[in-house]
């Protein structure tokens, strides 16, 4: 099957120091790759979980795929066509959609839900004879009452806002949905409702979904494949069940081991990998995970590992992968994961 989305060696650069620093600093600051040489593809109807800690570049990658952030290098192809110009991205955005991280903040506070739901079609120049009827149909799709057409975003609960976010994203019947932290900040029971809704709609409408998250417990049950990101680079990709049963990268293994027990009282579910994630603006030498890796060797500090295929469908960026997909572990270093 040919891929729906193919990304090759995609890189995105930002200038360090922030906007204020740039304004007061007469000398241009160097640019750093916050996304570095990402190669990834998705099949039609597939669900891919893009996982990593806060600051690893997940949102930037998703936004770059849709042309909302400019890539410094690399190639994006969608449905077999290279996406190069702004016109290509606009055409791609007619067949793909993004669910933003904070659904209320991403909706204009002055517009009623009915207008907000049909806005994507209007922006894309689609003629809608009856906007209220179209909005009511979208509300029904996500299980919300028709009366919500007259509500404002601030009148919605967190779960209802997510449902509106899903409906708005699906208004153009996309072939690809990019959902950025679709369950962040929601109570555990509501998280399940939102994920089940996306799953049901995927089956019914047949779109592919990239779900951006730091919540492994959540993504485990809904994704076909996982892509694990660290400091703007992919460190491991593979089928979800294989990655969970035999993680190859020590970062993935540590994320899985520290998977939080769902607790409705705890809102933040950032995985607890020991130590701080370094800044992309100060990448460690060699393998950038070596500063936190429990099995790092001298080679890891000096030499960046290649991103290589270990077995069918499994890629890893590590000098000492933990398992080799059922074969004998190679170069297994001494040392235990915490
Ligand atoms: N416009 C920008 N200018 C400069 N740096 C930026 C900009 N946007 C993001 N960054 C930096 O790029 C890196 C990746 O950020 P990004 O938001 O993509 O990560 P993330 O994994 O999605 O995190 P989160 O889960 O917190 O959203 C971070 O170091 C962030 O500070």
- Percent of the chain topping pLDDT 70: 87
pLDDT on residue 251: 95
CA 218/CA 271 separation, integer angstroms: 12
Q: What is the mean pLDDT of residues 231-242?
A: 96
Q: What are phi and psi of 213, to 5 degrees?
A: -160, 160
Q: Residues of the chain with pLDDT > 90: what percent?
A: 64
Q: Which residue has the tokens 């993504």?
A: 219
34 CA to centre of own chain? 14
What global pTM score does this model have?
A: 0.87
Give the pLDDT confidence score for residue 205 in this predicted structure: 93
- Quote the mean pLDDT of the chain: 87
Report the atom number in ligand 1 closest to the C-alpha of 62: 18
Give the number of the atom of ligand 1 that is nearest the alpha carbon of residue 15.
4
CA of 333 to the centre of ligand 1 (A): 33
Distance from C-alpha of 332 to C-alpha of 86, rounded to nearest angstrom: 47
Residue nearest to atom 16 of ligand 1 (CA): 57
Question: Can you point out the beta strands (E) in 70-139?
Answer: 73-78, 81-82, 96-99
At residue 280, the pLDDT reads 81
CA distances (Å), 182 to each of 108, 163, 231, 265, 268, in order?
Answer: 19, 10, 21, 19, 14
HSE-up of residue 73 (Cα within 13 Å, Cβ side): 11
Name the nearest CA neighbour of 230 among 21, 28, 36, 2.
36
Residue 185: per-residue pLDDT: 84
Q: 76 C-alpha vs ligand 1 centroid, how far in Å?
A: 20
Q: Give the model confidence (pLDDT) of 65-93 as tens digits.
A: 999 999 999 999 999 999 999 999 999 99
Dump strand ranges (E) for 43-115.
47-51, 73-78, 81-82, 96-99
Q: Note the pLDDT of residue 336.
A: 42
Q: Which amino acid residue places its CA nearest to atom 7 of ligand 1?
A: 14
Within 8 A by CB and 6+ apart from 29, the residues are 15, 16, 17, 21, 22
pLDDT number for residue 30: 73
Q: How far is the CA of 147 from the centre of ligand 1 (A)?
A: 37
Among the four given CATH numbers 3.40.1190.20, 3.40.50.20, 3.40.50.300, 3.10.25.10, the one describing domain 44-70+85-316: 3.40.50.300
pLDDT digits 0-9 by tens, 259-304 = 765 544 444 444 456 778 888 888 899 999 999 998 999 999 999 9
Q: Is the predicted pLDDT of residue 331 greater than 70, yes or no? A: no
Quote the CA–CA distance of 116 and 257 in Å, as a whole number.
Answer: 41
Structure confidence by residue, pLDDT tens digits, 121-147: 888 888 888 999 999 999 999 999 999
Confidence grade of residue 335 (pLDDT, cut at 50, 70, 90): very low
**Helices and strands per DSSP (H, E), number in the chain:** 11, 12
Q: How far is ligand 1, taken at its centre, from the CA of residue 35, in Å?
A: 10
Residue 120: band (very low, low, confident or very high) from pLDDT cuts 50, 70, 90: confident
Given pLDDT bands bounded at 50, 70 and 90, which one contains residue 29?
low
- The Cα 291–Cα 298 span in angstroms is 11
Cβ proximity of 242 and 325 under 8 Å: yes
Distance 31 CA to ligand 1 centre (A): 14
pLDDT at 244 over 60: yes
**Mutate which of 23, 28, 34, 105 for ligand 1 pocket (most atoms within 8 A of beta carbon):** 34
Q: Which residues line ligand 1 (CB under 6 A)?
A: 14, 34, 52, 54-60, 214, 280
Domain extent listing, the chain? 44-70+85-316
Using pLDDT thresholds of 50, 70 and 90, give the confidence band for residue 26: low
If one counts every other C-beta atom within 10 angstroms of the C-beta of residue 258, the result is 14
């Amino acid at each position: 099957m040919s891929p729906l989305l193919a990304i090759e060696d995609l890189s995105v650069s930002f200038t360090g120091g922030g906007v204020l620093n740039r304004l007061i600093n007469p000398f241009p600051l160097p640019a750093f790759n916050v996304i570095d040489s990402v190669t990834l593809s998705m099949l039609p109807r597939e669900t891919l979980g893009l996982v990593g800690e806060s600051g690893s570049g997940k949102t930037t990658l998703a936004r770059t795929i849709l042309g909302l952030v400019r890539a410094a290098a690399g190639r994006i192809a969608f449905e077999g066509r290279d996406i190069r110009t702004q016109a290509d991205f606009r055409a791609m955005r007619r067949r793909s959609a993004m669910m933003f991280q904070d659904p209320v903040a991403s909706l204009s506070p002055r517009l009623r839900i009915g207008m907000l739901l049909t806005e994507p079609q209007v922006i894309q120049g689609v003629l809608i004879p009856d906007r209220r009827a179209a909005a009511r149909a979208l509300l029904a799709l996500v299980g919300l009452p028709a009366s919500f057409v007259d509500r404002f975003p601030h009148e919605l609960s967190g779960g209802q806002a997510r449902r509106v976010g899903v409906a708005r994203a699906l208004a153009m019947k996309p072939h690809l949905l990019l959902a950025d932290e679709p369950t962040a900040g929601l109570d555990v029971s509501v998280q399940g409702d939102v994920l089940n809704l996306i799953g049901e709609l995927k089956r019914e409408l047949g779109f592919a979904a990239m779900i951006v998250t730091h919540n492994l417990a959540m993504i485990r049950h809904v994704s076909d494949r996982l892509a694990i990101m660290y400091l703007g680079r992919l460190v491991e990709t593979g089928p979800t069940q294989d990655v969970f049963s035999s993680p190859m990268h020590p970062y993935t293994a540590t994320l899985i081991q520290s998977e939080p027990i769902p607790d409705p009282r705890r809102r933040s579910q950032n995985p607890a990998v020991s130590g701080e994630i370094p800044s992309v603006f100060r990448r460690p030498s060699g393998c950038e995970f070596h500063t936190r890796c429990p099995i790092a060797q001298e080679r890891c500090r000096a030499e960046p590992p290649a991103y290589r295929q270990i077995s069918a469908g499994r890629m890893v960026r590590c000098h000492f992968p933990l398992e080799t997909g059922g074969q004998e572990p190679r170069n297994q270093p001494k040392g235990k994961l915490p």
